[in-house]
Structure 1
Amino acid sequence: MAENPPQTLSLDRIRQDVADVLQVDPGDLEDDELLLEQGMDSIRLMTLVQQWRDTGTEVTFVDLAGRATLTRWWELLRDK
């Protein structure tokens, strides 16, 4: 059985996934806003890590915890 190829994460997908875990509208998230101030916590962060790993993206909790804005996460994840 062949493996599914990795899915590419887009900025829109990242924004939607973050909005989903924070239970906010994606349009309410600013690109350079600190997500920790919007309610991002370690449990939600691990949820995102697992979601994105499931797409084939190599990302760790530490990668995201040190880059807590949509812009910084996109810079990290677009090259994965």
Structure 2
Amino acid sequence: QISGLGQAIRNSESSISMIQTTEGALNEVSNMLINLRQLAVHAANEGTNDEKMLQADQNEVENILSTLKNIARNT
């Protein structure tokens, strides 16, 4: 019975670690989605953007999407 309790504790610790990892990934994803929204709003303000600014925004969007894919694959 003591052995079973030890295993239950190890399983609980493993579950807590997995939840903490997932929580960190979700926080990072949330921040990236907020950033994507800000980039979209910035790009929509055509009067204040030139071609270089729009390209910089597009590059940032592509970097964020790439990072999101990596998080989805590895978390």
When normalised by structure 2's length, the TM-score is 0.30
Between Structure 1 and Structure 2, which shows a larger proportion of helix residues? 2
State which structure, 1 or 2, has the greater radius of gyration over its C-alpha atoms.
2
